Chain A
Amino acid sequence: MAEQAALLSIRGVAKSFGGVRAVHDISFEVHAGESVGLVGPNGAGKTTLFNCVCGQLRNEHGEIEFDGESLMGLPTFKRARLGIGRTYQKVEVFMGMTVREHLMVAERARRGESRLWRDLLNMSAPTPDECRRIDATLELVGIAHLADSSVNALGLGHCRLVELARALAAEPKILLADEPSSGLDHHESAEVATVLRTVQRERGTAVLLVEHDLGMVGEVVDRTVVMDLGAMLAQGTFDEVMANPAVRHAYLGRGAE
């Protein structure tokens, strides 16, 4: 893994909001097909870092490269088309659309396909190939039975799975999953963990997982990066970082050391 070129390379990234240093001098790499956990207490800067990678925030310092290409200055949609998929801490679904339509949007957006003339010539109907890929993703995530349901009628757990399926429908090279088990019960969290492992194993998709459920992180990731107060605290295997006194202090307080 070490000799392989990094898929995502984050070097010295920093981001502040006014006087608050949300992310400070963060550096790590994610390789193709690798699964990396990004953990830390609330306010550690994990989601801010995700936003910097996706282009929803501009980092003030540092360099982010993806697949050998610098992401600096690229708008969010172009980064997505390079192969960066994302789910959100607060569920972001498209109200009024069916589950299948969610995936169709992602399928077309990935290829930058939005030609008005095709719509006006009624040439925008889903192709059999697109339908097949969408069905496969729905099967993978385990929500094929909900394909034609409107997301308005779905609960939080299913909406999280829809969000995950939508991100996977774009066939990303890396999936940034931001607290995918937030608000889910134990059984639903286990389902999400299974999907993430399958995606990594079968599709070769790299996963960068932000998660508070450390059990799930330990189950899914190959390597873990720990952040606290915007800075990087430790990185290594899950067991290594969990044994690190600084990490235990950050999570559990001084007495835990």
Chain B
Amino acid sequence: MEQFLGYAFPGIPYGCSYAIVAVCLVLTYQATGVFNFAFGAQAFVAAFVFTLLTQNEHWSGFEAFLVSVLVLSPLMGVAFDRLLFRRIPNSNTTAKLVIGIGLLVGLPDLMTVIFGPQNLDATSTILPFFNPNVVYFTLAGTPINGIYLSTISVTVVVLIALTALLRFTNLGLQMRGAVESRRLVQLDGVNAEGVVLLAWIISSFMAGLAGVLLAPVYGQILSTNYATLEVAAIAAAAWGLLRSIPIATGVAVLIGIISTTVDGYLPTGGLLYSAVLPGLPFFALVGALLLRKGMQSLDSNRDPLATIDPPPPPVASGTRVPSMNRLVKPAWYGLVVFFFISMLTWMPKTWETVFNSGLALSTVLLSITLITGMAGQLSLCQGMLAGVGAFTAAQLSIHLGLNMLVGGLIGALLASAVAVILAVLSLRLRGLGLALMTLAAALLFDNTFFNAVSLTGGPAGLSLQAKWLGTAAFFNFNGHALFLLCFAVLTVCVVVVLLVRRGTVGRNLAAMRGSEMASAGLGINLTWQRIVVFALAGGIAGLGGLLVTIQNQVASPDAWNYNYSLIFVVLVVTTGVSTVEGAINAGIAFYVIEQLLTYLPSRFGGSSLVIVLFAFGTLQYAQHPEGVLEFQKRKGTQAFERRLFPQEFYALNPAEAPLGALPDLQAVTHG
């Protein structure tokens, strides 16, 4: 018994740290209707600034706390609300999720861009009455130091304060009303905007507090630590249906206790130790998603005023006048031919590599166009599926001597099969539930399969050998074999996506996106459609994974971690998730911008600033859900149409017609 308690007790402070974040996730969701994916990133930013000020600038703990937690964190909350989430219609779950993901991905990299790479160790504590280096007492053989005591005491205070706020105050009541329909409570005379703003300020303050408080627990300030913390917290919050603070707290503490207990009992180095222990928070999350029925209907829109939201804007190609279409289509074909010839003739090697990387990445991103753009399902594991394709191809080459290109096809099939399993597991999940399920899958693969040295070669990955591909041509950047391969595979994938979109499956997916209830009522088998689209997207991601791996000449688990899955979504959504051009533009733009940034000072080089640019581009999703690039294309096209084909343009857009044009208009429309 004493041994059990000895293993279990150390889990309580960890569980408490999960609980603080879980409770804050519940508060944000209850008060604003936003599942704040960026919570971990906010906590990281506060901890980063706090530690930077205390360690590098030698500020006192109090001064640094004042700036990072009391000023910066609430300001972040104000900015999130005023500039982003307030502009999203209550009913648009995808937009809220995507913007949260954009912030999660962008904020840590923004710190790197602003302050440069830092190596920060958190040693300061914000609670002077508990010294982190002092052991106050021992419980069942476990030394209880200041870090443990401060974590537990803050958790208790937070728990009591937030429960009281939501349950027993008028503000809490207004918050719960505002989350149902901000517009409706406004009609009742409540300052809903103010209530929601206050909720953001409180939750952001809590994020900052949690970040600074937990920093000494981790030691080094790394965004990945906060991401892992967030997953355990998400699992706990999910068990509480993002509603119950006591259940979320209880489950969070339980996860902490189970983690340290399992850690204590399992022999280190064993398969169970390496597979089960890191995966525990993800199993807890999957369990909540599958077993808690309330998670399945979490996103059902309850806003009675949702119908006053405008319909989503059309894509550029859907609004072009016929004469413009006759100009644009040949221009596109001409551009593709020009690009193709350029790549085979005069393109410098550096830029050929850039475009090859872009084409390979575009293939992965195309899978997001299919699953999110066409089917309206937010999958956060497409990077993981690409990794499944890549590692399968590499392993088949190593063990069976199979050509990697053939292995890549098998890898794509395996990725497809994994996607189907995921689709079947999450059949009843929608919106946030599905996003969390796919994120859990990505994290599970990161911590289990992709961690296994026997499968992925460990952190160094598997270096590709020319014999695996049957030729050294793909390694010779003076040749064009890799370009031709990438171009051919991408073309095939684009054609597949376009055919599916134009066909019956595409129409059914569009119908499902519009109304699942009405689609099923017409005779569409939603389950089957969902499995089909997951399978196709998984297969395409697997093929993309193969191309990226050949381009990198190494199959590395780092290239396919969950963070990249999130970044991929951010890239596509920024440019335009509903068109194939969106995926291709995103893939190529990512590497082109990265290359252009190499001409800037080294701090801006690498992928950090590119990710920040795209992440903040995602923030435009609130105004332009069709994608920033798509929006600019439509605007540009319309400007041309006004000048070149005014009569056709005004006939299609009568609301924009100047007064003088009206008589002519009538002639066009009726003639």
**Closest chain A residue to B532 by CB distance?**
A116
Q: In the assembly, what is the distance between CA of A106 and CA of B525, in Å?
A: 12
Q: Which of B105-113, B270-278, B506-514 contacts A (4 or more CB under 8 A)?
A: B506-514
Asked if B312 lies at the interface with its beta carbon under 8 angstroms from chain A, I say yes
Bound CA span A127–B522, Å: 20
Q: Is the CB of A80 within 8 A of B515?
A: no
CB distance from A86 to the nearest CB of B (A): 5
Minimum CB–CB distance from A197 to chain B (whole Å) comes to 23
Query: B640 within 8 Å of A by Cβ?
Result: no
Per the 8 Å Cβ criterion, residues 506-533 of B in contact with A are 506-508, 510-511, 513-515, 517-526, 528-529, 532
CA distance A122 to B502 in the complex (A): 8
Task: Determine which of B496, B502, B519 lies in contact with A124 in the assembled complex, contact meaning CB atoms within 8 Å.
Answer: B502
Cα–Cα, bound, A119→B522 (Å) = 20
CB-based contact B521/A118 at 8 Å: no
Q: Does A166 contact B (CB under 8 A)?
A: yes
In the assembled complex, B165 has its CB within 8 A of some CB on chain A: no
Within the complex, which residue of A93, A105, A119, A170 is in contact with B500, where a contact is CB–CB below 8 Å? A119
Beta-carbon nearest neighbor of B507 in chain A: A105
Set of chain A residues within 8 Å of B526, measured between Cβ atoms: 77
B501 to chain A, nearest CB (A): 9
Number of interface residues of A (CB under 8 A): 41
Q: Specify which of B311, B506, B521, B529 is in contact with A80 (CB 8 Å cutoff).
A: B521
CA distance A92 to B508 in the complex (A): 15
Chain B: number of interface residues, binned into ranges: 20 to 34
Q: Mark A56-97, 1 if CB is under 8 A from B, else 0.
A: 100000000000000000011110110001101000111111
Q: Is A150's CB under 8 angstroms from B504's CB?
A: no
A114–B528 touching, CB < 8 Å: yes
Identify the interface centre among B496, B510, B511, B513: most chain A CB within 10 Å of its CB.
B511
A94 lies within 8 A of B504 (CB): no
A188 within 8 A of B: no
Complex alpha-carbon distance, A124 and B506, angstroms? 10
A124 touches B503 (CB 8 A): yes
Scoring A75, A97, A114 by chain B CB atoms within 10 A of each residue's CB, the highest score goes to A114
What CA separation (Å) do A189 and B383 show in the bound complex?
A: 52
Q: Residue A120 contacts which of B312, B496, B520, B525 (CB distance < 8 angstroms)?
A: B496
Most buried by B among A110, A116, A163: A116
- Say whether B311 contacts A88, CB under 8 Å: no
A104 interface contact, C-beta 8 A = yes
For the complex, give the distance between the alpha carbons of A109 and B506 in Å. 12
Nearest CB on A from B319, distance (A): 10
Let me know if B520 and A96 touch, CB within 8 A. no
CB closest residue in chain A, given B311: A152
Partner of B511, one of A75, A97, A115: A97
A205-241 to B contact mask, C-beta < 8 Å, 1/0: 0000000000000000000000000000000000000
* Contact A96 B314, CB 8 Å, known A105-B524, A108-B507, A114-B508: yes
- Contact at B502–A119, with CB atoms within 8 Å? yes
Return chain B residues, CB-CB under 8 Å to A167.
522
In the bound complex, CA of A166 to CA of B510 (Å): 15
B515 and A114 contacting across the interface, CB-CB below 8 Å: no
Of B504, B518, B522, the most chain A CB neighbours within 10 A belong to: B522
- Check if A150 sits within 8 Å of B314, measured CB to CB: yes
- Which among B314, B503, B508 has the highest number of chain A CB atoms within 10 Å? B503
Assembled-state Cα–Cα distance A56/B511 (Å) = 17
How far is the CB of A208 from the nearest CB of chain B, in Å? 14
Question: How many angstroms from the CA of A122 to the CA of B181 in the assembled complex?
Answer: 45
How far is A104 from B496 in the complex, measured between Cα atoms in Å?
21
For A77, the chain B residues whose CB sits under 8 A away are: 520, 522-526
Judge whether B311 and A109 touch: CB under 8 Å.
no
Q: Is the CB of A94 within 8 A of B503?
A: no
Do A116 and B517 have beta carbons less than 8 Å apart?
A: no
A114 and B499 alpha carbons, distance in the complex (Å)? 13
- The yes or no answer to A43 lying at the interface (CB within 8 A) is no
Chain A residue numbers with a CB within 8 Å of B525 are 75, 77, 112, 114
Q: Are A94 and B506 in contact (CB under 8 A)?
A: no
A92 to B312, CA, bound (A): 15
> In whole angstroms, how far apart are the Cα atoms of A167 and B517 in the complex?
13
In Å, the complex CA distance between A122 and B505 comes to 12
Contact A108 B504 (CB under 8 A): yes
**CB < 8 Å neighbour of A95 from B506, B507, B514, B521:** B514
Partner of A92, one of B502, B503, B517, B536: B517
In the complex, the chain B residue whose C-beta lies closest to that of A84 is B521
With both chains docked as a complex, state the minimum distance between the C-beta of A232 and any C-beta of chain B, in angstroms: 24
Which of B499, B511, B523 has a CB less than 8 Å from the CB of A94?
B511
**Interface membership of A25, Cβ < 8 A:** no
Q: Which residues of B contact A113 (CB under 8 A)?
A: 504
Minimum CB–CB distance for B307 against chain A, Å: 8
Q: Which residues of the partner chain A approach B500 to less than 8 Å between Cβ atoms? A: 116, 119-120
Residue from A88, A95, A114 in contact with B504 in the complex, judged by beta carbons closer than 8 Å: A114
- A106/B504 contact (C-beta < 8 A), A97-B511, A97-B514, A122-B499 known: no
Q: A104-B507, A124-B503, A152-B314 are in contact. Are A92 and B523 (CB under 8 A)?
A: no
Contact between B314 and A80 (Cβ–Cβ < 8 Å)?
A: no
B524 to chain A: closest residue by CB:
A109
Q: Tell me whether A95 and B522 are in contact (CB under 8 A).
A: no
Q: Which residues of B contact A118 (CB under 8 A)?
A: 503-504
Q: Is A29 an interface residue (CB 8 A)?
A: no
Query: Chain A nearest CB: distance from B291 CB in Å?
Result: 20
Given A101-B507, A109-B508, A114-B505: A119 in contact with B499 (beta carbons within 8 A):
yes
Distance of A93 Cα from B311 Cα, bound (Å): 12
Q: Which residues on B sit within 8 Å (CB–CB) of A88?
A: 517-518, 521
Give A163 to B508 CA distance when docked, in angstroms.
16
For B507, list chain A residues within 8 Å (CB).
Answer: 97, 101, 104-105, 108
Q: Which residues of B contact A163 (CB under 8 A)?
A: 518
Give the shortest distance, in Å, between A179 (CB) and chain B (any CB).
15
Contact yes or no, A105 B520, CB < 8 A = no
Minimum distance in angstroms from A172 CB to a CB of chain B: 10
Q: How far is the CA of A56 from the CA of B522 in the complex (A)?
A: 12
> A119 near B518 (CB under 8 angstroms)?
no
Contacting residues, chain B, for A80 (C-beta < 8 A): 520-523
Shortest Cβ gap from B503 to chain A (Å) = 3
Q: Is the CB of B496 within 8 A of A170?
A: no
| A41 to B499 CA separation, bound complex (whole angstroms) | 48
Which listed residue, B508, B514, B521, touches A93 by the CB 8 Å rule? B514
Establish whether residues A119 and B505, one from each chain, have CB atoms under 8 Å apart when the complex forms.
yes
Note all chain B residues with C-beta closer than 8 A to A106: 522-523
Which residue in chain B gives the minimum CB-CB distance to A121?
A: B499
Q: Does A22 sit at the interface, judged by CB under 8 A? A: no
Chain A residues with Cβ under 8 A from B536's Cβ?
116
Which residues of B, 465-500, contact A by the 8 Å Cβ criterion?
496, 499-500
Contact across chains for A92 and B504 when beta carbons are under 8 A apart: no
A54 touches B (CB below 8 Å): yes
- Whether B312 pairs with A96 at a CB distance below 8 angstroms is yes
Distance (whole angstroms) from the CB of A69 to the closest CB of chain B: 15
Known: A77-B525, A94-B514. A56 touches B503 (CB 8 A): no
Kindly report which residue of chain B lies nearest to residue A88, judged by CB atoms: B518
Contacts of B506 in A (CB 8 A): 119
Q: Which residues of B sit under 8 angstroms from A116, Cβ to Cβ?
A: 500, 503, 505, 532, 536
Top 6 A-B pairs ranked by shortest CB distance?
A119-B503, A94-B514, A124-B503, A92-B518, A80-B523, A109-B523
Give the interface of B toward A (CB within 8 A). Answer: 311-312, 314, 496, 499-500, 502-508, 510-511, 513-515, 517-526, 528-529, 532, 536
Beyond A94-B518, A120-B500, 5 additional contacts (C-beta under 8 Å) are A93-B514, A94-B515, A105-B524, A114-B505, A114-B525
Name 11 interchain pairs, CB-CB below 8 A, sorted by A: A75-B525, A78-B523, A86-B521, A93-B518, A97-B510, A105-B507, A109-B519, A112-B523, A113-B504, A114-B524, A120-B503
